[in-house]
Amino acid sequence: MSTLEIHQIPTRSDNYVYLLRETSSGNAAVVDPSDAEPVLETLDMFGWNLTHVLATHHHDDHVGGVPEIKEATGCTVVGPKADRDRIPMIDVEVADGDTYRLYEAEAKVWDVPGHTSGHIAYWFAESQALFCGDTLFALGCGRVFEGTFEQMYDSISKFKEVPDETWVYCAHEYTMGNAKFALHVDPDNTELQAYAMQIQHRREAGVSTVPSLMGLERRTNPFLRADDPALASVLGMDGKSPVDVFAEIRTRKDNF
Ligand SMILES: [Zn+2]
């Protein structure tokens, strides 16, 4: 049994970078370091020793800090095999179905293409933590830049394996805007209404709304409810396939 202590570092205008510390030692890994400086400063402040970078996808606001961090710490860079040429200084390539062992903790790796073609997610089951990069957000999902709607729907459907008690560590504070859209397409969902209210209070107080709980997301995030006939009906899409419903919701969000 191994659990990781997770520390959130806000960077840029709305990015979240995560430090995963092994509780029995001072070793830590960083997920999606947009920038080196805030990561190195935080490590210094806590006295933690960085051993690994875990990258989800090639966008600069996820791997921009990798070269400087690797130079400063000599850490091992783990990233998607499918995108090895676009991830700087990658040492270990992982792909769909792999189990990656970080210290005593195990992460299941999924290929989750759609936002980018080589995007991956890491699920640390024992730590109840899903690092999904820009695939899934609190009340939202990533824009489909390099894949198809069908690919993106298949990607977020892989998260069905994750228990409700899992924390979703997404990489951006997009929740307020996502909540407005979710209420727009699903206005009568009372749990969503309450969640949106809580999000508003948190943002007004300058508090992060990430991570969110998978169970709550399943009941309120419209992108995770594309297979729910009740939501299809609200959208006027009775009888349509979940992929069609997902594509409709994603397209409406793009134009919201
Ligand atoms: Zn991205």
Distance from the CA of 104 to the center of ligand 1, in angstroms? Answer: 29
Distance from the CA of 255 to the center of ligand 1, in angstroms? Answer: 19
Enclosing H/E stretch for 100: strand 99-102
Q: What is the DSSP letter of 14?
A: T
Contact (Cβ atoms closer than 8 angstroms) between residue 200 and residue 179:
yes
Q: How far apart are CA 7 and CA 17, in angstroms?
A: 8
User: Chain-centre distance of CA 35, in angstroms?
Assistant: 17
37: three-class secondary structure by DSSP: helix
Q: Which CA distances in Å does 201 have to 2, 39, 42, 175, 194?
A: 34, 28, 27, 12, 11
Give pLDDT, residue 1. Answer: 53
Spatial neighbors of 221 by CB under 8 A, at least 6 apart, are 136, 138, 139, 140, 141, 182
Alpha helices in 64-167, H assignment, sequence order: 66-73, 149-157
Distance from the CA of 57 to the center of ligand 1, in angstroms? Answer: 7
pLDDT band for position 2 (50/70/90)? low
Closest to 126 in 3D by CA, of 156, 159, 162? 162
pLDDT in tens, 43-101: 999 999 999 999 999 999 999 999 999 999 999 999 999 999 999 999 999 999 999 99
pLDDT at 103 over 80: yes
Q: Which domains does the chain have, with CATH numbers?
A: 4-170 (3.60.15.10), 175-254 (no CATH)
- The structure's pTM equals 0.97
Give pLDDT, residue 142. Answer: 98
200: three-class secondary structure by DSSP: helix
Distance from the CA of 146 to the center of ligand 1, in angstroms? Answer: 10
Query: Tokens 């370091």 sit at which residue?
Result: 33
pLDDT band for position 3 (50/70/90)? confident
Which amino acid, 237?
A: M
Q: Enumerate the active-site residues.
A: 57, 59, 61-62, 115, 134, 172
Beta bridge partners of 105: 102
Mean pLDDT score, 178-203: 97
